[in-house]
Amino acid sequence: MRKIALIAVVAFAAACGSSSSTPMGYIRVANLAPDVAGIDFCVATTGGTYSAPVMANAGSAAGLKYDIGAAVYPGLKQMSKYFGYGPGTYDIKIMSTAAGGSCANPLATLTGVTLADGGYKTIGFVGAQSTGGADAAPFAAVAFTDEVSVSSSAVAIRFTNDTLTPTGQADPMFFKGISWNVGLSRAGGSTALFTEIAYPRTARSGALVDANGYAIIPTATLPSGNLTLYVCPFPFTPETVVSPYSCGTFTVTGAQISGGIIASAYMIGGVGMTTPPYSQTALFCGDVVSGQVSSDGNYSTCVAGL
């Protein structure tokens, strides 16, 4: 396996909840599928009529662009901002922004997404079109429930596994991604945060991990200086890595780690691949954030780490 390069310096915004007196929940969508350059999405209450494509209707006709590995990226238009909807149950269709694409012929459909007042959901569009067999990873939409708040004396960090396993570097076919372990650097070693993150999910809940897949880490237990996370192919950990396997690292400067931060890393691309747009990397996004990164304000704050 090639060395996994997942190095980034990321500034995340602190969480903010719903401030409206009208009951409202929030949905955003991320393009995590390297086979589709651009997507948009339509939303309907379950059994109801679908809206116009959300991004186009908001003035961003280019939609959500999978541009990891491009000369100028860095994932700035890969994830939408949160759009508000009343509490209820929703169906979501993902469409291509290419000519002929529409929500009448969706790439993927997700039904029964429950949205509570003050709740936040991220819908990840994952998979590839060149798959087949038992380990196929066809296009799909996956719902992640985002944490709304965390103590001012802790940080909430989540990793999702959206990687694909390629058959080769040139014109590859893709299958379900391998599982991952993630550990946190400590003096004299590391501590496991997430164990066996399977495709296309977050880590299972456990001692440090809550029901939404976040590791809730007291800031008092974090090492001083930069924070380093190790990302290893399961079953290997930073303590057990042997040649030819090796772990990638994700680094956040100490100045950017403060209580109340909520953030997710979406591991994407082809495992071990270095050829755009299939390069293995991660998209790091602040969750439940108010700051935007585009002049039209329709995108969440994300950066790509290589």
Q: Is the pLDDT of residue 219 over 70?
A: yes
Determine the pLDDT at residue 291.
52
**pLDDT tens figures, 120-137:** 999 999 998 866 777 889
Among 145-154, 208-217, 237-246, the least confident range: 237-246
Cβ atoms of 194 and 182 closer than 8 Å: yes
User: At 240, is the pLDDT very low, low, confident or very high (cuts 50, 70, 90)?
Assistant: low
Rounded Cα distance between 28 and 290, Å, is: 13
- pLDDT exceeds 50 at position 269: yes
Band the pLDDT of 189: cuts 50, 70, 90.
low
> Which of 199, 163, 206, 193 is CA-nearest to residue 263?
193
What the block records as the tokens of 288 is 């439940």
Selection from 204, 201, 182 nearest residue 248 by Cα: 182
Query: Tell me, what DSSP letter sits at residue 204?
Result: P
pLDDT tens column, 130-171: 667 778 899 999 999 999 989 999 989 999 999 998 886 566
What's the whole-number average pLDDT of the chain?
82
Helices and strands counted in the chain (H then E) = 1, 19
Residue extents of the structural domains in the chain: 25-305
* Alpha-carbon distances of 109 from 64, 88, 96, 100, 218, rounded to whole Å: 16, 17, 12, 17, 38
Of 268, 23, 243, residue with least CA distance to 142? 268
Query: Higher model confidence: residue 190 or residue 220?
Result: 220
Q: How far is CA 306 from the centre of its chain?
A: 15
pLDDT band at 1 (very low <50, low <70, confident <90, very high): very low
